[in-house]
Chain A
Amino acid sequence: MTVVTTSRVKMTATPITRVLGVLALAATGLMALLGLVVSPADVVQGEAVRMLYLHVPSIWIAYGAFVLTSVSSVLFLRRSKRRADRGRHYDRLAGSAAEVGVVFAGITLITGMLWGKVTWGTYWQWDARLTTTILLFVTYLGYLALRRLPADPMVRSRRAAVMALISFVNVPIVHYSVDWWRTLHQKAERRTETRNNWRNVLDIALFHGCGDHCGCVVDHSPVPSNTVRRIA
């Protein structure tokens, strides 16, 4: 006779995280609708422009996650120096943020390669932005590998925290690589002119600060002379 036992799985969600999850899902759906259906194709880039709606916000989320990893690591080192059992939650926060950052850096690389194939004719170019981005990705993969090693938890956490601080040096290098070196990737630029149509919602929501990463200013206007300003 087989005895089947059931156990109640403990949920870790709180009412706030549930609401946030629902809101995030709704916002993702809305952005997908605006980006894939409502927004027209770009005059120059065509349908490939939709890749940038994912590409640019992804790297900004990755940057934000890596900032959070670094700040949490500093707080962990400070707290744990006073008492070894203090600040563990900062260590966990650093690890979680790094996981999110790595996923979004990966999405940035994949979407960038797909966009590059359509626009540049090749998946990969050894230019400064692409190379530094993949180094950033691999560095944080190393960070996550360090966090999973079989070792004393406190030793592992301290080493990981120091590594997080060192790895963060790469973030400004990735961001400013287009200014410091000659690259195929577009230079950073912010759009200054204002427009009064609904498409600004997309630009603001998806390209806020995008000029900094992608440098590609998208215009869906039907007038060809003022279409896409690609900064070479």
Chain B
Amino acid sequence: MLAETLLVARKDLRVEWRAKVALGQVTPLALLILVVFAFALDANTSLLKLGAGGLYWVAVLYGGTLLIQRSFDVETDDGNMDAFRMSAISAPSLFLGKALALFVQIGLLELVLGLGIAFFYEVRIVDWALLLVAATAGTVAFSVCGVLWGVMSAGLRVRATLLPLLLVPVLTPVLLAGSRAFETALGVRADAGWTWASLMFVIAAVHTAIGLGAFGFLLEEG
């Protein structure tokens, strides 16, 4: 199972490395959103520092949704879903492999956005451990939720609008928990940052369990 998972993840990452859509288009666009937020808040540095955690995760949500969309567009445009169904790769391995590839891509996006808020919003990190754990938990949650909901809208004509409609309500608790944990890590709020980070792991665990059980149904065609 591990070999199959790594095989699928390597395939996705290789496709992405060759196309360079994540690096060349999605990441600059997400950075641009951070800049636009600054314009919207009248470049008020103290306000931006206060809201940096929330603005960061909104940018991740936007960029992450595009990456998830692309991850399944690549499969459906060339009929790869049929190839998956006919291959010997099990549905759980496929689920985990695609989630792993998305984890790497969203992780890189978060790294760039992290540098972005440090540079543009002049934030100061007071708890590195919490920041890293919360970022990891959020990335895992985004990846597994993304694969689960991405396959649900894959191959449909209206997937571009359907995916955000399905994904955003599910990811809102992750966004909320990530924002709170980041605010604690950035010293903006004295709150239970670790509890919020744990909540993100719980959300990720629930969706992983559902994904492992249900991905086979979602891959099957009538």
Contacts and interface: CB of A to CB of B under 8 A. Distances in A.
Interface of A: 77, 81, 84, 135, 138-139, 141-142, 145-146, 149-155, 158-159, 161-163, 165-166, 169, 173
A145 B165 contact: yes
A159 B148 contact: no
Contacts of A154: 221-222
Interface string B211-222: 000100110111
A42 B173 CA distance: 36
- Interface on chain A toward B: helix, strand, loop, or mixed SS? helix
Contact of B221 (A81, A155, A166, A169): A155
A159 B162 contact: no
Given A163-B152, A166-B214, 5 more contacts: A138-B165, A142-B162, A142-B165, A142-B169, A159-B152
Contact residue range for chain B? 20 to 34
Nearest to B199: A180
A3 B149 CA distance: 52
A158 B217 contact: yes
23 contacts: A81-B217, A135-B169, A135-B172, A135-B173, A139-B170, A142-B162, A142-B166, A142-B169, A145-B165, A146-B153, A150-B156, A151-B156, A152-B221, A155-B220, A158-B217, A158-B222, A159-B218, A162-B214, A162-B217, A162-B218, A163-B166, A166-B148, A169-B206
Given A154-B222, A158-B220, A166 B162 contact: no
B18 interface: no
Interface in B155-179: 155-158, 162, 165-166, 169-170, 172-173
Nearest to A77: B217
B221 A161 contact: no
A224 B199 CA distance: 43
A163 B220 CA distance: 15
In this complex, the member of B157, B207, B214, B221 whose beta carbon has the largest number of chain A beta carbons within 10 angstroms is: B214
Contact of B162 (A138, A146, A153): A146
B129 interface: no
Nearest to B145: A166
Contacts of B156: 149-151
Contacts of B162: 142, 145-146, 149
Contacts of A84: 222
Contacts of A173: 173
A24 to B, nearest CB: 31
Contacts of B214: 162, 165-166
